A and B are shown apart, each in its own frame.
Chain A
Amino acid sequence: MRLEPVEAPTLARRIGYPAAALAATVLVAAALAGIAGGNPLAVLGQIVDGAVGTKFARLETLNRATPLIFTGLAVAVAFRAKLWNIGAEAQLYLGAVATVLIGTQSGLPGPLVIPAMAAGAVVAGALMLLGPTLLKTKLGVDEVVTTLLLNFVVLLFVGYLLEGPMKDPMGMGWPKSPSLPKEARLPRIVEGLRLHWGFGIALICALGVWLVQAKTTLGFEMRAVGLNARAARFAGMPVNAVLAKTALISGGLAALAGFSEVAGLKGNLTADISPGFGYTGIVVAMLALLNPLGVVVSALFVAGIFVGADSMSRSAGVPSYIADILLASALLFMVLALMLSRFRVVRG
């Protein structure tokens, strides 16, 4: 077989294949539910219901989507420039560490402490990704493997901090950090509703990333480097500097997920603050076709699946890991669908 580019893909082609990918994902879900001994239709219904059925569920989904928007944006920005940042998890944790340190130690007055925490988190995450990026540009070390390995290192480092220097003396022996003071907590968007301003910041970031990509020279450079680094270099673009800037933005965005979870939701840092938000960000970004505004939509979708699957698991007894399988299959189906919408498979 051979792949032949489709000159001008029709709308039906461009929408049909991704739609088929989503349908295939639903079929996988139904099959898995059946395997686990549930009624496929009922299980699917319970997932949807658990994600958006009640006001509580909807708020829970929005809360769960917040870190995913950040990590999704981090991955989308990096992948656009073909910088394979698989280390959003590590950047998230370092961002959370910086947030806690500044929030509990800086002694800054009320209105300054939150911006300082956010800035500290961004710097920590940005530097975290700069290292592997420089290894890539200077020495040619593949950043996929280094960012992956560093996830493990950073998680152990956080474990050390929480059992040692950053351990909460009042924590009754649990490995967790002291809680942030009240003025260092992100306020709720609407009083009385359990949704904090982290979500608002995430939306602003999505808009900001979109602006940068669509309207600025840096965005133009990032896209050019991602599509054809050789041509970009020949045309005069500073390819390595563009990758470094991309790394700073991507790492900073991922770190904001940690900031938002600590300052908005949890109030302190534990070693299990992220159930793989960094990795799930890859799925979020790919489902959004790396479009920053699309990331918001796909983060809501992914968060809904997680929240819905948790709720369904409690009532129907089908393991909640069904959500992880769904997302992995959605990712694979979607990359295939995107290719098929641009190429047709021909014989010989």
Chain B
Amino acid sequence: MAEILRLDGITKRFGPVLANDGIGFALAEGEVLALLGENGAGKTTLMNILFGHYVADEGSVHVAGRELPPGQPGAALAAGIGMVHQHFTLAENLTVLDNVALGTRPLFSLSSGRRAARARLRQLSQDFGLAVDPSARVADLSVGERQRVEILKALYRDARVLILDEPTAVLTPQEVEALFATIRKAVAKGLAVVFISHKLGEVMAVADRVVILRRGAKVAEMRTAETDRHRLAEAMVGAEIVPPEVPAVTPGEVLFRLGGVSVAGSPGLDDVSLSLRAGTITGIAGVSGNGQRALADLLSGLAVPETGTAELKGAALAAWSPRQAVAQGIARIPEDRHATGTIADFDLTENAMLEDYARPPMSRKGWLDWGRARKRAEAIIEGYDVRCPGPSVPIRLLSGGNMQKLILGRVLEAGPSIILANQPTRGLDIGAVTYVHRQLLAARERGAAVLLISEDLDELRALSDVIHAIHDGKLSPAFARGQVTVKELGLWMAGQGGRDAA
């Protein structure tokens, strides 16, 4: 088939960081190419260059034989590049139709051409099996529906190359299957697809060819038919991926218990009952936006149950606040380490003392003891292997992994009895992921109760002693380790669990 896309020698630096180092590959019509690499390998940067968000320092992009002018998303769109970002780029208070039509007509034309746009959108929905209501407000759509809107945006502009950046991270296993079906339909119509992922199984399932990136450089290229998961894994991380060892631990008493708890919100929580036991990791599987935030807020002290009971170590929750939660021995690893976990312009010393600055020994009668604060930060840097120039650099200069290690040090130093780990490995490279997993397992061994909220089913299934799925604020029954298949879990995540049996 004809070559539709070619990248040559793409190099991009961000300050001292070499994000892309002379990367090149080609793609033919009707082909699915997977771009495989762990977090931070440079996949997203490369695609942002292709799409014109970034300008490469060196190298060129050709679409159907013509060179793309750098740094112009408009030119990339016109040439037929369609991109579905990992973080959706939708205006939430506008309708689906508005989002799709945005920028497709000359800005200064006098009519919006809405009727024709609606008809075309309906046709595309049908052709590619992407059902979505054109007049719905994006804010009211589920994550899966939003992704369909993103794909429709690209198809509406007659995309010839469809780039999907980590498209499965936010989907249930069944939705992933539906997405793969859409990809196959697209390819059958002659489109070319770039599928960006760090998940080996998905790459093997959907791609014809794989390009593997590691630390910004292309390290291998192979046909999926001629390789297997192990070889892909080795090429991706430079070593065989070893799943964490989970020693047997006898569960202890219940340290935290929710009984029929509801919290208002969209979606909030709906009649949730949950027990966290000492020496146990309890996993919560679910597509983001299904009540995980409300659950995490509850445990971290930001919210209180509106109905139902919450017990901490056998006593009903009284006067509940983040400070109370910390004082009661709850370690909280927040979902977003940049926005909630740390203060970017504070240095490491200040970030390390964020939770206990108001108590001795960090302060007395309102006066801070900077000497002790600094010593403690140094101890965390040492004890948790935080790679940094020193305790007085702003934390924004640290990598995500080192930032997360500082947070781990901050919350684990005191030997907490309960740990909330909300998406603790999102966006981290494999080394940091392994480190976080080891810390959580070590806490479990010394008798802590861990609540692990994650979108990564592999991670959940490897670590959790007990798993619940969450959908629309409702919790599935508890499943012990190995009791449930990925497919069943997927049904529960979609709110259809237990129907077959009933």
Cβ of B104 < 8 Å from any Cβ of A? Answer: no
A230 touches B340 (CB 8 A): yes
Tell me the smallest distance from the CB of B322 to a CB of chain A, in Å: 4
Beyond the given A216-B368, A232-B354, please list 6 additional residue pairs across the A-B interface where CB-CB is below 8 A: A216-B366, A216-B367, A228-B339, A231-B342, A231-B354, A236-B323
Q: Known interface pairs A234-B341, A347-B71, A348-B55. Does A215 touch B368 (Cβ–Cβ under 8 Å)?
A: yes
How far is B369's CA from A215's CA once the two chains are assembled, in angstroms? 8
Residues 217-260 of A at the B interface (beta carbon under 8 Å):
217-218, 220, 223-224, 227-228, 230-236
Looking at chain A's contact residues, the main secondary structure is helix
- A342, closest chain B residue (CB): B345
Tell me the smallest distance from the CB of A297 to a CB of chain B, in Å: 23
Q: Per-residue CB proximity of B308-334 to A under 8 Å, as 1/0?
A: 000000000000011101100000101
Q: Known interface pairs A235-B355, A236-B326. Does A227 touch B345 (Cβ–Cβ under 8 Å)?
A: yes
Cβ of A110 < 8 Å from any Cβ of B? Answer: no
How far is B365's CA from A215's CA once the two chains are assembled, in angstroms? 11
A217 touches B55 (CB 8 A): no
- B370, closest chain A residue (CB): A215
Cβ of A191 < 8 Å from any Cβ of B? Answer: no
Cβ of B343 < 8 Å from any Cβ of A? Answer: yes
Q: Known interface pairs A7-B397, A227-B344, A227-B346. Does A220 touch B355 (Cβ–Cβ under 8 Å)?
A: no
Cβ of A142 < 8 Å from any Cβ of B? Answer: no
Sample of 7 A–B contacts (CB below 8 Å): A7-B397, A216-B367, A218-B366, A220-B357, A231-B340, A236-B322, A348-B55
How far is B357's CA from A215's CA once the two chains are assembled, in angstroms? 12
Cβ of B301 < 8 Å from any Cβ of A? Answer: yes
B366 touches A217 (CB 8 A): yes
* B416 surroundings in chain A (CB, below 8 A): none
Cβ of B16 < 8 Å from any Cβ of A? Answer: yes
Q: Known interface pairs A217-B366, A234-B302, A234-B334. Does A348 touch B54 (Cβ–Cβ under 8 Å)?
A: yes
- B345, closest chain A residue (CB): A227
* A223 surroundings in chain B (CB, below 8 A): 346
A230 touches B339 (CB 8 A): yes
**A interface residue count range (under 10 / 10 to 19 / 20 to 34 / 35 or more):** 20 to 34
Tell me the smallest distance from the CB of B141 to a CB of chain A, in Å: 25
Cβ of A5 < 8 Å from any Cβ of B? Answer: yes
Residues 54-104 of B at the A interface (beta carbon under 8 Å):
54-55, 70-71
Cβ of B363 < 8 Å from any Cβ of A? Answer: yes
How far is B427's CA from A278's CA once the two chains are assembled, in angstroms? 47
* B354 surroundings in chain A (CB, below 8 A): 224, 231-232, 235-236
Cβ of B108 < 8 Å from any Cβ of A? Answer: no
Q: Known interface pairs A227-B346, A347-B71. Does A7 touch B300 (Cβ–Cβ under 8 Å)?
A: no
Tell me the smallest distance from the CB of B181 to a CB of chain A, in Å: 36
Cβ of B117 < 8 Å from any Cβ of A? Answer: no
* A220 surroundings in chain B (CB, below 8 A): 350, 357, 368
Looking at chain B's contact residues, the main secondary structure is loop
* B70 surroundings in chain A (CB, below 8 A): 348
Which of A7, A228, A233, A348 makes the CB contact (< 8 A) with B16?
A7
Tell me the smallest distance from the CB of B345 to a CB of chain A, in Å: 5
How far is B115's CA from A125's CA once the two chains are assembled, in angstroms? 59
* B397 surroundings in chain A (CB, below 8 A): 7-8
Q: Known interface pairs A4-B14, A230-B340. Does A235 touch B366 (Cβ–Cβ under 8 Å)?
A: no
A231 touches B339 (CB 8 A): yes
Q: Which of A4, A234, A347 has the most CB of B within 10 A?
A: A234
Number of inter-chain CB pairs below 8 Å: 76
A236 touches B368 (CB 8 A): no
A235 touches B15 (CB 8 A): no
How far is B368's CA from A215's CA once the two chains are assembled, in angstroms? 6
A residues sitting closer than 8 Å to B (CB atoms) are 4-8, 215-218, 220, 223-224, 227-228, 230-236, 347-348
How far is B350's CA from A224's CA once the two chains are assembled, in angstroms? 9
How far is B394's CA from A228's CA once the two chains are assembled, in angstroms? 14
* B325 surroundings in chain A (CB, below 8 A): 236
B301 touches A224 (CB 8 A): no
* B363 surroundings in chain A (CB, below 8 A): 216-217
How far is B323's CA from A231's CA once the two chains are assembled, in angstroms? 13
* A8 surroundings in chain B (CB, below 8 A): 397
Which of A6, A215, A230, A231 makes the CB contact (< 8 A) with B367?
A215
Cβ of B437 < 8 Å from any Cβ of A? Answer: no
* B71 surroundings in chain A (CB, below 8 A): 347-348
Closest 8 A-B residue pairs measured CB to CB? A348-B55, A236-B323, A348-B71, A236-B322, A235-B354, A228-B343, A234-B340, A227-B343
Tell me the smallest distance from the CB of B163 to a CB of chain A, in Å: 18
A236 touches B355 (CB 8 A): yes
Which of B326, B343, B366, B396 makes the CB contact (< 8 A) with A231?
B343
* B357 surroundings in chain A (CB, below 8 A): 217, 220
Cβ of B462 < 8 Å from any Cβ of A? Answer: no
Tell me the smallest distance from the CB of B240 to a CB of chain A, in Å: 35
Tell me the smallest distance from the CB of A291 to a CB of chain B, in Å: 15
* A7 surroundings in chain B (CB, below 8 A): 15-16, 397
How far is B300's CA from A227's CA once the two chains are assembled, in angstroms? 21
Cβ of B7 < 8 Å from any Cβ of A? Answer: no
B358 touches A217 (CB 8 A): yes
How far is B341's CA from A203's CA once the two chains are assembled, in angstroms? 37
Residues 94-146 of B at the A interface (beta carbon under 8 Å):
none
Tell me the smallest distance from the CB of A149 to a CB of chain B, in Å: 28
How far is B29's CA from A121's CA once the two chains are assembled, in angstroms? 77
- A229, closest chain B residue (CB): B343
Tell me the smallest distance from the CB of A82 to a CB of chain B, in Å: 12
* B340 surroundings in chain A (CB, below 8 A): 230-231, 234
How far is B332's CA from A5's CA once the two chains are assembled, in angstroms? 29
Q: Per-residue CB proximity of B25-56 to A under 8 Å, as 1/0?
A: 00000000000000000000000000001110
How far is B363's CA from A217's CA once the two chains are assembled, in angstroms? 7
How far is B340's CA from A11's CA once the two chains are assembled, in angstroms? 31
* B342 surroundings in chain A (CB, below 8 A): 231
B302 touches A233 (CB 8 A): yes
A234 touches B343 (CB 8 A): no
How far is B14's CA from A216's CA once the two chains are assembled, in angstroms? 38
* B321 surroundings in chain A (CB, below 8 A): 236
How far is B355's CA from A228's CA once the two chains are assembled, in angstroms? 14
A217 touches B368 (CB 8 A): yes
A5 touches B343 (CB 8 A): no
* B302 surroundings in chain A (CB, below 8 A): 233-234
How far is B345's CA from A232's CA once the two chains are assembled, in angstroms? 13
How far is B15's CA from A215's CA once the two chains are assembled, in angstroms? 34
How far is B366's CA from A218's CA once the two chains are assembled, in angstroms? 7
- B17, closest chain A residue (CB): A7
Tell me the smallest distance from the CB of A210 to a CB of chain B, in Å: 14
How far is B15's CA from A232's CA once the two chains are assembled, in angstroms? 30
How far is B353's CA from A220's CA once the two chains are assembled, in angstroms? 10
Residues 452-469 of B at the A interface (beta carbon under 8 Å):
none
Which of A5, A233, A347 makes the CB contact (< 8 A) with B322?
A233
- B337, closest chain A residue (CB): A231
